[in-house]
Amino acid sequence: MKLIKIHICLLLFLLYCLIFVNTEQILLNNDKLDSNIINYKNILPEGFIPVDENVLNGPITTNREKDNGKKRNLYSMIRNEDDSYYYNYNEFNKLKNETSIQSVYFCEMYSRLRPEVLKGFDLSCPNHYTIVIDKAFYGRYANDTINCKTNFTPEILKKIKNDCGYEPLKNIKYSCEGKSYCSLKPMNSFYKDHCHGVLKYLHIDYHCIKKPELRKEKISIISFYDGIEYNSIYEHSVSEFYQYANIHGYEFQFTNFNYIPESNIFFMKFQTIIDKLIEGLKYGNIDWIFWVDNDVIILNPNIKLETFLPNEKMNKIHLIAAYDYNGRKDYCCGINAGILLIRVHEWSLNVFMRAISYPYYNKNMYLENHDQTSLNNILIEFNEADHYVVVPPHWMNKRDITKGEFLYHIMGGGRKYKDRKLYQFLNKSKNDEEWYTKTNKELRKEVLKYYNFSKEEQIQINIQP
């Protein structure tokens, strides 16, 4: 009996070894075939199934029996391309572990406005570094008549013969540490007033430490539509972005439940974005959100979203939107809100909450493009130019079918018009590899050239009706 148990154990061990070796070999072979293809990982969007139940890495549909077989398998279009155009590991390894300590004084802010609408003072670190707070003091040091000068009357000078203030170190650390930059507002509504009647300041010593590793950006692609029909442009769009996310290792989240039906459906876009921003801020599981309307098709699935992310000098840029000309020369031009790249940051949450409220505070204003007009006007009216960049439309808001570009946005018209445009593209691009030959390296070069322009040289936008 004992001998039988030993034989059984040996057989199980050999079987385990055989499975393990075969699995490792399969994984190695897959890596050799294409290192860019990520194994199936995003759960299927609600109501969708694979077109072919035996092919998980392929198109998806809402109705397998009625699917017309026109959906593209994006996996077949992917080529090998390294990610050094964005992730430069050699340069990262050469960086020093930390920077020298910097000392800054931010003068007390006086305003009757709510702190939320005021612009603060920034602490900032270079790319790949985060802030470490060494010292924080709110008040005024003894005999300091240099920093944040004011009319030092004899009465005030008497008050500052001794240090007057306290160290809000815990508060500042909470606001800034672990971030590449933060904004601070030295006001009595945020900090204790130990020096009544004296102009105070926030004195901070800080330095920057290098991140432990150069990790991949965590990007979530999100979309909303509450009426998907089989073989429609909307179904094709979900199928393509679902595949695209799996290929490049992004999260994909498609939402189809309108939980505020009394509101204009266009504003579910902002609700969906706000939901995702709150998730990212609470759990730190997302760096960037890519919003995409459901009338967008991928021309070149090899192009990665990292290609469009800000350069190392743009750590305050939180929104990337494409230029849009809506045909009215008297109001030309604004952003297009059909495709947006949004950094997960408190500024982003704030600006989208303001945008979703815009119609309530401008109730007599006709909003020609609903949510798009609201977001566009908020950015201008609140002078948020430091935090957004408007990019050329061919990068991510292409209105016509062009070889080599990234996306095709079928704007305007109804369902039949959009479907007709979709199938024109599918017929035109069939078996033609020239549609997806442009590389990330080529496009990144173009993107960085544009980002290095001054703000005045980049595309400007105006208030929209």
- Whether the bond between 9 and the residue before it is cis, its omega within 30 degrees of 0, is no
Is the pLDDT at 144 greater than 50? The verdict is yes
CATH of the domain at 255: 3.90.550.10
Residue at a domain's end among 184, 210, 236: 210
The answer to whether residues 153 and 243 belong to one domain is no
Is the pLDDT at 428 greater than 90? The verdict is no
- Listing DSSP states for 394-460 in one string gives HHH---S--TT-SEEE--SS-HHHHHHHHHHHHHHHTT-GGGG---HHHHHHHHHHHHTS-TTTSPP
Read off the pLDDT of each residue in 260-289 and give the average, rounded to a whole number.
Answer: 90
Is the pLDDT at 330 greater than 80? The verdict is no
- Listing DSSP states for 181-212 in one string gives EEEE---TTTS--SSTTS--EEEEEEEEEE-S
Higher per-residue confidence, 37 vs 351: 351
Q: Which of 340, 332, 462 is nearest to 397 (CA)?
A: 340
The answer to whether residues 280 and 322 belong to one domain is yes
Over the stretch 145-193, which tens digit does the pLDDT of each residue have? 899 988 777 777 777 888 999 999 999 999 999 999 899 999 998 999 9
Q: Does residue 106 belong to any structural domain of this protein?
A: yes
Q: Does residue 352 belong to any structural domain of this protein?
A: yes
Percent of all residues in the chain with a pLDDT value above 70, rounded to a whole number: 90
Q: What DSSP state is assigned to residue 53?
A: T
6 confidence band (pLDDT: 50, 70, 90): very low
Read off the pLDDT of each residue in 219-230 and give the average, rounded to a whole number.
Answer: 92
Q: How do strand 388-391 and strand 296-298 relate by DSSP bridges? A: unpaired
Q: 3-state class of 58 per DSSP?
A: coil
Cβ distance 233 to 239 under 8 Å? Answer: no
How many Å separate Cα 344 from the centre of its chain?
6
Count of domains observed in the chain: 2
How many C-beta atoms surround the C-beta of residue 218 within 10 A?
Answer: 15
CATH of the domain at 102: 2.60.120.740
Cβ distance 309 to 331 under 8 Å? Answer: no
Instruction: Mention every residue, 6+ apart, whose C-beta is less than 8 A from residue 156.
Output: 150, 197, 198
Q: Does residue 4 belong to any structural domain of this protein?
A: no
Residue at a domain's end among 210, 237, 262: 210
Over the stretch 447-464, which tens digit does the pLDDT of each residue have? 999 999 999 999 999 998
292 confidence band (pLDDT: 50, 70, 90): very high
- Give the C-alpha separation, 275 to 224, whole Å: 12
Over the stretch 67-83, which tens digit does the pLDDT of each residue have? 999 999 999 999 999 99
- Give the C-alpha separation, 32 to 12, whole Å: 30
Q: Residue 250: what are its φ and ψ, rounded to 5°?
A: -100, 160
The answer to whether residues 206 and 274 belong to one domain is no
- Burial (CB count <10 Å: 0-12, 13-18, 19+), residue 380: middle
**pTM for this model (two decimals):** 0.87
Span between the terminal Cα atoms of the chain, in Å: 87
Using only C-alpha atoms, the chain has a radius of gyration, in whole angstroms, of 27
The answer to whether residues 339 and 392 belong to one domain is yes
Is the pLDDT at 376 greater than 50? The verdict is yes
Q: Residue 103: what are its φ and ψ, rounded to 5°?
A: -120, 125
Is the pLDDT at 108 greater than 60? The verdict is yes
The answer to whether residues 362 and 445 belong to one domain is yes
Q: 3-state class of 26 per DSSP?
A: helix
Per-residue confidence (pLDDT) for residue 10, from 0 to 100: 45
Higher per-residue confidence, 144 vs 320: 320
Over the stretch 311-329, which tens digit does the pLDDT of each residue have? 988 999 999 999 987 766 6
Read off the pLDDT of each residue in 101-115 and give the average, rounded to a whole number.
Answer: 91
Over the stretch 8-43, which tens digit does the pLDDT of each residue have? 444 444 444 433 434 343 333 333 334 444 444 789
Q: Does residue 378 belong to any structural domain of this protein?
A: yes
Q: Does residue 273 belong to any structural domain of this protein?
A: yes
Residue at a domain's end among 210, 244, 264: 210
The answer to whether residues 206 and 251 belong to one domain is no
Domain residues for the domain of 328 are 49-87+216-451
Is the pLDDT at 401 greater than 80? The verdict is no
365 confidence band (pLDDT: 50, 70, 90): confident
